[in-house]
Structures are given as C-alpha cells and as structure tokens.
Structure 1
Amino acid sequence: MSELEDRFAEAVAAIGGVLKRHGFRKKRYVWTRVGDGIVHEIDVQRSHGNSAGSVRFYVNARAYVAEFDRAIGRAVPDDLTRANAQFETRFEEVSDWPTDRVDVERDADALGTALPAAIEQVVAYLDGITDAPSLARTLRESGFVLDDDLFAWYCATGRSSEAAAQFAAARERFGDEDRWPRLAALFDETAEKYGVPLP
C-alpha cells in the first residue's frame, strides 16, 4: 500500500471513530444510523480522478424520514436503509471544512484534527433532522425551492402559507427561464390535488 493510501485509510479511520461514537454503523465507506423512522447516512466517495500520486475524496451526508414519505402517499420500505434519502448535501456545506474535497496529501496535517471536527459538525447538523417538520425546514433553508416532495408535503399537511412561499421563491428564482411554465404547471397540479390555492 502506498503512503497516500495509508493516509486515506487513516482519514477513513478518523471519520469512523467520530461516527461510531454517535451510533453509526459502518459498511465499507458508508456509515448509517437508524432511529425511529429516521435514517442518517454519511459516506466517503473516492474521486474518479485519483492516481498513484493523488488521492482525494468527498464526504456526503443524507437523511430520510419515513413520516415525510407517508404524508405524501409514498410507500415506506420495511428496511429504511433502502429508502431514497429526501435530503443530501456535501459535508463542506454544513461544516467548516474549507474545500469541496479532502486531498490526503494537501490536507495531511488536518486528517487527525480538522477532519474529525468537521465530521462532528455534520453529525450535529443531521441531529437536527428528527421528524418531518425538521426535514422540511432543512430542505427549505438549503434552498430546495424546486423540490416537488417538499411542496407536496406542505400541501398534504395543510401548510398552505409555506406552499405559497415555496412557489413564490421558485418563481422569483426561475420565472424568467424558458422552463418556468412547465415548472409552474407542476406546482399547480400538486396544489390542485390537495386543494391548496396558489398566488
């Protein structure tokens, strides 16, 4: 094994050490924590551009809430770890890690300190997703204005003001694009299904 691969293994071990303390279980480069109707997942994704002289990886975080899917009429699998996550982000978006990837050579001094600290921040972020309302808040605050499921959840649960706000935010951001009439029609279709008026 090369020196860079040794450093990669050390980085994965550092990440795993943090996640094990928080109740995550590891399978290869994926750590999963299953709660009452909730799944939190963090994985390490090796870069396709790696070579003998360069080893880089990304860290992704995901969350799934069964209650959210039930509200919009989607089937919930018996094994929640097989469900499609409703929220996904890269770890630099929710931590102090300064770049979009970890380079085991460039970041060698940070692998045992700053990297575990960033993973702690990611866990704390996922800890905030405990039910359907907190998932919806996370999606909204993360800018998921075109998320069909989020809009459907607002409509299905009688949150008409939030549905209208999402529609308005989508129109403001994408209203000048050629695709807006098609997007607006999707919003209209969902709103009509649940009897929610749109502005």
Structure 2
Amino acid sequence: MLQQLFNDLIKQDVKPFLAKHGFAKKSLNFSKKTEGLIYIINFQKSSGNSADNVMFYVNCSIYAEELAQIQSKEILTAPQEVECHFRARIGEIAPGAPDRFAITPDTNREELGKTLLNRLDDVIHFYDEMTSARSIVDYYVSGPYLHLGEESFHLLLQSNDITKAKHYLNALQEKHGAENRWAIFENKYIAIFDKYGVDFKVT
C-alpha cells in the first residue's frame, strides 16, 4: 500500500511538475538537457524499506561536457547520477528539505506531495543559476571543497582567472593543509599550475 503511495506520488505529483520544467522521466530519473549541461533529479528508494515504512532520497546532479573534456573522458549523452560533476542531496540546495523523505501509515499524502514539490521548486531555481561548467566550479570553489578540485583549477587557469585560482588554493590550504592527505592533493595541484606556467605559491 505504501509502495503504491510512493508510485502515485511520482506519477501524479512529481512527473507533471518536472515535465512543466522540461524534464523527461526514465524510471526514477528525471533529466533535462541544455547546451553543454544535463540536469538530473533522481529518486532513490532506501534499501531498508518495509511494508509500513517507505523511505526515499532525492539526489540532484549536473553533468557538464566541458568538465568531462577536462577529465579526458568520453562525452556522455545519458549519464547516471554517479557520473555527474555536481552531486548533492536535495537538503544541501533546498532549505528545509529533509535528508530523506518517509512514507508511513500516518503520512498525509497531500501534505507530503506539497512539501516535496515546494522543495523541488527550490531545486529548479538552483538549477536556473547553474548555467555552465563555470557555475559548477564556482559552487565548489566557494565551499571551498576538495571535490572537483583538479577540474576546477584546470578551468580557472585555462580562462586565465589566476586570482580566483590562488584564492581557491589558499582557502583549501587553510581548510585542509594540516591533514596528512593534503600532500597528495598539493602534488596534483602543483602539476596543474606548472602546466599553465603559474606560480603555485600563494602571495
């Protein structure tokens, strides 16, 4: 019964809502393609579901052809969520969204649908701001996050944005410099800076 409620939620609420925003459905994946980018919203059912408790996650991801080229990887036309360059749970980009949604015998179907669509609307607005590979890089640089670090330095230095590359490097050093693993990342970053003839030292 609860599994059917989940199926109805996807079919009757999520699918028409995302279709209005240009997303096509395939299984529990919704995707939209623009020039150079593919936006994905994935519904992942928990492995611990039971007859009286159905839980699911909403994964949000963006694939960028430009970043795939930097990685020297084949350009994908239908990437999986795990193959995307930007990846986040809905709660990371939609304020107020739970880490995971739950359907129980006490769940109010209408309220759950309204909550989910409101949070998906937040995701749509976030995606509207993520219009290029540079947008993805700027997101991780602002963290600062180690994820996509090599690709981010490549893109920044390719575009001769040395100031931002140095700012990102400095922020990463402040955040992770005391960790044992930093030496591994530092060696990779030095090689990238050398490739573009840029001094690695932060001034």
The 3 A distance-change label for structure 1 pair 104 and 184 is same
User: Is the contact made by 2:144 and 2:171 (CA closer than 8 Å) also made in structure 1?
Assistant: no
Tell me which residue corresponds to 1:80: 77
Query: Does the CA-based 8 Å contact 1:7-1:108 persist in structure 2?
Result: no
Change (3 A) 1:107 1:156: farther
Aligned pairs (5 A) from 1:1-199: 2=1, 4-13=2-11, 14-70=13-69, 72=70, 74-77=72-75, 79-82=76-79, 84-105=83-104, 108=108, 110-146=111-147, 147-198=149-200, 199=202
Give the alignment's Cα RMSD to 1 decimal: 2.0
Give CA-to-partner distance per residue, 1:100-158, whole Å, 9 cap, x none: 00001265353221110100111111121112322222232354245221122112221
Note the residue ranges of structure 1 that are not aligned, 5 or more in a row: none
Segments ≥4 residues shifted beyond 4 Å: none
Equivalent residue letter for 2:31: T
TM-score by length of 2: 0.87
Deviation digits for residues 74-117 of structure 1 (CA, Å, limit 9, x no counterpart): 3452x532383111111111113342000012653532211101
Q: Tell me: CA distance 1:33–1:120, structure 2 relative to 1, closer, same or farther (3 Å).
A: same
d(CA) in 2 for partners of 1:107, 1:139 = 36
Q: For the structure 1 residues 144 and 115, does the alpha-carbon distance in structure 2 shift closer, same or farther, using more than 3 Å as the test? A: same
TM-score (norm 1): 0.88
Distance 1:17 1:23 in 2: 10
Code of the aligned partner of 1:179: R
CA distance in 2, matches of 1:73, 1:96: 32
Structure 2: gaps spanning 5 or more residues: none
CA distance in 2, matches of 1:111, 1:61: 19
Check the 8 A contact 2:145/2:172 in 1, yes or no. Answer: no
Alpha carbons of structure 1 residues 121 and 98: separation in structure 2 relative to 1, 3 Å = closer
SS class of match (2:175): helix
For 1:45-94, what per-residue CA distance to the aligned partner results, in whole angstroms no more than 9, with x for missing partners?
01111112210000011112223444x363452x5323831111111111
**Which protein, 1 or 2, shows the higher relative CO under an 8 Å CA cutoff with sep ≥ 6?**
1
